[in-house]
Amino acid sequence: QSALTQPPSASGSPGQSVTISCTGTSSDIGGYNYVSWYQQHPGKAPKLMIYQVTKRPSGVPDRFSGSKSGNTASLTVSGLQAEDEADYYCNSHAGSNNFEFGGGTKLTVL
């Protein structure tokens, strides 16, 4: 059982926006601005999409954005495209000796 809670699934039609939540506690998400998000296509390694809550690595489309409120972080994908269909995982610093992942959300583009 993962320490961070994500919805198992999310979906949207091409062009729409979808938001995936990641809920933790004051000991992880709420206590640090070190939330990151990863995209994983079937059979592939995860890819960093968002770090430090809101920052995008070079090469990640600006359709992907991150935010945080209290103990919940969110990933929003705007202008959904077929290639966005994948599993998404959140990760948070949780003290000096832990970097927790969420249970993952399967995003389906209808």
Residues that bind other proteins (CB under 8 A): 2, 34, 36, 38, 45-48, 51-52, 57, 89, 91, 93, 96-104
Cβ neighbours of 70 (radius 10 Å): 11
Beta carbons of 83 and 14 less than 8 angstroms apart: no
Question: Which tokens hold the place of 22?
Answer: 């990641």
| Residue 3 beta carbon to other proteins: minimum distance, rounded to whole angstroms | 10
| Residue 13 beta carbon to other proteins: minimum distance, rounded to whole angstroms | 26
Say which residue the tokens 């995936």 belong to.
20
Question: Which tokens hold the place of 7?
Answer: 């919805």
Rounded CA separation 109/92 (Å)? 26
Q: Which is nearer to other proteins, 13 or 43 (CB)?
A: 43
Q: Which is nearer to other proteins, 71 or 101 (CB)?
A: 101
Q: Which is nearer to other proteins, 65 or 91 (CB)?
A: 91
